Amino acid sequence: MRILISGASIAGPVLAYWLTRSGFDVTVVERAPALRKTGGHAVDLFRPAMEISERMGVLPRIEEHATGTTVLSAYRPWAVKPARIDYLKLIGAFSDRHVEIMRDDLSEIYYDASRDGAEYVFGDQITGIDDDGGVSFEHGTRRRFDLIVGADGLHSGVRRIVFGDDVPERFLGGYLSVVSVPKPLALVGEMDGYFDPDRVAMIYTADHLDDARAVFMFRPTQPLDYDHRDTARQQAQLRAAFSGMSAQVDSWLEEVEHTPAFYFDAITQLELTGWSRGRVTLVGDAGYCPGPAVGGSTSLAVYGAYVLAGEIATAAGDYASAFAAYETTMMPSVVGSRSLARANAKTLVPGSRWGVRALVGVARAVSVLPLGVTQALARLNRKGVRLYDTMPLPDYPAVTART
């Protein structure tokens, strides 16, 4: 069976790995000319994604590339000194098994694990998909596949071709920007965060990085009139939102015009109720992004890729039943991650001074309480803050039998 995957970031290579281990013939087409090595950001792997990575044999390499952030210094406009927060304890309250890693490092690790078994085509993209599996490409010649999977992110091209432009989505009220800035602006192991009502700016780096990443999240009173292709306008909107926040944040903004990597997007959640049509399905952010930076979507992408491969192998080529089982297994976690992301979008960028005080106060308390106490309290939380650790990890004998 020939399977085409669009997108070689996180979900694509993980899916390619598990499908090839099950004996499928896999091609991955990636629009970028090579594996992306710049402009990424730190992402989180929680328990199930750690276990899937362990089963792939790549966990030691992932742990070697952890960002190593251990302290968050939270600056508030009314306080002379920052609140020093134990970042590991803070994350530990939500997860017993977690690693933070740069997305580009993670992508390379999964790519390396899958590339011997799969055909990778860079610098091309799908332009059309027929009902019988005929696929046309921007550059390559037309080919036929039994299944086509969109693993091509929040603005998925496969989704646009199959579902159209008008898919249900929800704007979570905020905007997110990541800017590559000179490394000396940050300290290895320490994240600095500046918190004001409706805007948060943070900076971090890691030992093995050549730069630092400044992350900006903000909620304007009115949705911005912005165009996702107009970088100059986005940069002006970012400066307008953050300028004057603090001398440090102003120094990060000075880099915006010269940065080699600039990311800007609305924090948007997809609300599709199903991800499959005929021979085509979606995985990761392409199908069920709960919102970048607010919903643990990297773990969901790894988990979704593993489940999809397992269901395809189990159904032995009956893609209709495989896709139905994939959606049934994923749906509770997807619905949970959407509601967690909606709550996080409000909590992480508080709308008032009171909200900032509460956010930093809770983080500080968590970082001084014993870990066992905060984990017990988190387990009582009904909004599902431990959702990602508790996603059940199915075993697929049809896959493991061939590994």
Ligand X SMILES: Cc1cc2nc3c(=O)[nH]c(=O)nc-3n(C[C@H](O)[C@H](O)[C@H](O)COP(=O)(O)OP(=O)(O)OC[C@H]3O[C@@H](n4cnc5c(N)ncnc54)[C@H](O)[C@@H]3O)c2cc1C
- Which DSSP category does 81 fall into? S
Per DSSP, helices labelled H in 254-351 are 285-288, 297-314, 319-348
- Between 93 and 395, name the residue whose CB sits nearer to ligand X: 93
Look at the alpha carbons of 105, 106, 111, 114 in this order and tell me if their dihedral is positive or negative.
positive
* Placement of tokens 């969109």 in the chain: 150
For the bound state, the minimum distance from the C-beta of residue 147 to ligand X, rounded and expressed in Å, comes to 16
Give the SS3 label for residue 37: coil
Q: Which residue matches tokens 């909200």?
A: 355
Cα(196)–Cα(192) distance, integer angstroms: 14
**Using the rule CB under 6 A, is 269 a contact of ligand X?**
no
Q: Could you identify the residue written with the tokens 């009115």?
A: 222
Pick between residue 134 and residue 397 the one whose CB is nearest to ligand X: 134
CB of 6 to ligand X, least distance (A): 5
Rounded to the nearest whole angstrom, what is the least distance from the CB of residue 296 to ligand X in the complex? 5
Whichever of 298 and 329 has its CB closer to ligand X, that residue is 298
> Residues 19, 118, 191, 293: which binds ligand X (CB under 6 A)?
293
CB of 287 to ligand X, least distance (A): 8
Q: Applying CB under 6 A, does 11 fall inside the site for ligand X?
A: yes
Candidate segments 35-43, 166-174, 323-331, 359-367, binder of ligand X by CB under 6 A = 35-43
Q: For 183-237, where are the E strands, in sequence order?
A: 190-196, 199-204, 211-218
* 152 contributes a contact to ligand X by CB under 6 A: yes
**CB closer to ligand X out of 136 and 352:** 136
Q: Taking Cα atoms as reference points, which of 36, 189, 29, 181 lies closest to residue 118?
A: 29
Would you count residue 151 as binding ligand X (CB under 6 A)? yes
- If the CB atoms of residues 141 and 395 are measured against ligand X, the closer one turns out to be 141
Residue 7: CB minimum distance to ligand X, A: 3
The verdict on 125 binding ligand X (CB under 6 A) reads yes
- How many residues touch ligand X (CB under 6 A)? 35
Name the strands in the sheet holding 25-30, side by side, starting at the edge strand that comes first in the sequence: 119-122, 25-30, 2-6, 147-150, 280-282, 276-277
Beta strands in 41-152 (DSSP E): 42-45, 71-75, 83-86, 99-102, 119-122, 126-129, 134-137, 143-144, 147-150
Candidate list 292, 310, 336, 350; residue touching ligand X; CB under 6 A: 292
Window of 83-91, 230-238, 286-294, 311-319 that interacts with ligand X by CB under 6 A? 286-294
With vertex at residue 185, the alpha carbon angle to CA 180 and CA 189, rounded to the nearest 5 degrees, is: 95
| Residue placing its CB nearer to ligand X in the complex, 32 or 316 | 32
Start-to-end Cα distance in the chain:
18
**Which residues ranging from 174 to 203 are in contact with ligand X (CB under 6 A)?**
176, 178
* Binds ligand X by CB under 6 A, chosen from 48, 92, 193, 284: 284
Angle between helix axes 87-94 and 371-380 (nearest 10 degrees) is 40
Selected from 111, 263, 275, 288, the binder of ligand X by CB under 6 A is 263
Q: Which of 42, 186, 308, 341 is close enough to bind ligand X by CB under 6 A?
A: 42
Which residue ranges make up the site for ligand X (CB under 6 A)? 6-12, 29-32, 36, 41-44, 103, 125, 151-153, 157, 176, 178, 263, 284-286, 292-293, 296-299, 301
